[in-house]
Amino acid sequence: MFTKAISVAVPAFLALLISNISPVAAFPKISAVGNKFFTDEGKQFYIKGVAYQLISEDPLINTDQCKRDAKQMQDLGANAIRVYHVDPTGDHSGCMKAFEDVGIYLFVDLDDFETQIEQATPSWNETSFKAFSAILDEFVKYDNTAGVFVGNEVLTFAANKSDAAPYVKAAIRDIKTYRDSKKYRHIPVGYSAADIPELRPVLQNYLACGSKAIESADFFALNVYEWCGKSSYKGSGYADLQKNASDYNIPLFVSETGCRIPKPRTFDDQDAILGPDMADTWSGTIVYEWIAEENDYGLISYGPKVDPEKNPEALDGFPRSGTPTPVAPDYTNLKKHWATLSPTGVKSSEYTPSKKAPTCPSATVNGWVVNGDVPLPTLGQVLNRATATATATNSAATASATGKGAATGGREIAGMGVGLVGVMLGFVVWL
């Protein structure tokens, strides 16, 4: 009789127990829709982020340190980090969980010093593609991965050296194609640009233009150090940033900001980016940077400077782990701004994208050299400027006829004589 009572009671007890267990909610994933970011809960997402690169190799493999930093970032009011270099073979589960637990997303760069696209000698090769893909493979499994960068400040000088831009766009194309072929969720793929006035609006439009969506960036980000010390929305140049962005069709955000001179760092620009002046167009900001080191941008410190010979783990003498201690008054200044800035935006259910892709920029005399929506380099090709120059000296017909592995076919050089306006850049196969 006792046995029979147990057999009846146990299933009933289990049923009652299960009915009172709430399912664990999945962390809301980020996607790009039109010119905005949304969570899969339908809320518009605004970035309040910090650059996080404690060590040169990979800061996302030290779980204990990530837990300490994540808690401090929660106090700051951050909801995102940007990490520049990672090792795709490392175990990132502990750190990603630590940041997820406090509502923090990751924007991660796919390149490193060995695989980055260089403006001086542009190429997009199999080695870089495999390295980029490996990082995407690793971080796609984490719901709080918000986006990836295919490059950071690749174009940093002279608009007439902008022939590197198609290589950035080729990387975007191939990473998006790889992402889709693997049936991954549509993690946004974008680029982080240097704030160079002669390049900024043209490059911004070039990466979003074109008839093929697979070749266009999912977002465009800008490293901005214009609002320094006591300034204003108009005086800083931010009004010009907004003017150039008002009709942009993909999400924009500031991927680095925070002048260090003059001191203290006030972060007054946050009121513009996350306030009524810009929040309808821009999707937030990432402040440079978390850790105090030689460059003097840090928001926190892990202790006083030490002798690097006696403490080799402390690069340049600055400790790379430990209890994060806010740097005063910079940390508090930023925290105060973020505490008052909570733009809500629009719900995805009430939003219909209306911005059209910009027209691809034309080449200009002594300026931007990529003429319109030209065919992009294929994987394994490198720009040979010597070949292009020699060809231009001889005849316009030779470039497209003899350029080995010609990638662009129709890219034109501006700033030459009328008879050479149709010259096409030559490419050679990267072996």
Which residues are the active-site residues?
A: 153, 256
Instruction: Encode burial over 205-232: b for 16+ CB neighbours within 10 A, e otherwise.
Output: bbbbbbeeeebbbbbbbbbbbbbbeebe
Phi then psi for residue 220, to 5 deg, are -130, 130
Which among 54, 66, 53 has a CA at the least distance from the CA of 100? 66
Helix, strand or coil for residue 33? strand
332's tokens: 């508090």
C-beta separation of 102 from 73 below 8 A: yes
How far is 260 from 80, CA to CA, in rounded Å? 21
C-beta separation of 146 from 107 below 8 A: yes
14's tokens: 């289990």
Which among 188, 72, 79 has a CA at the least distance from the CA of 139? 188
Quick one: how many helices (H) and strands (E) in the chain? 11, 15
Instruction: State how far the alpha carbon of 335 is from the alpha carbons of 98, 149, 263, 295, 385, in Å.
Output: 21, 26, 17, 21, 48
How far is 257 from 279, CA to CA, in rounded Å? 16
Cβ neighbours for 378, distance < 8 A, ≥ 6 positions apart: 170, 405, 407
Which among 396, 415, 414, 405 has a CA at the least distance from the CA of 376? 405
Helix, strand or coil for residue 88? coil
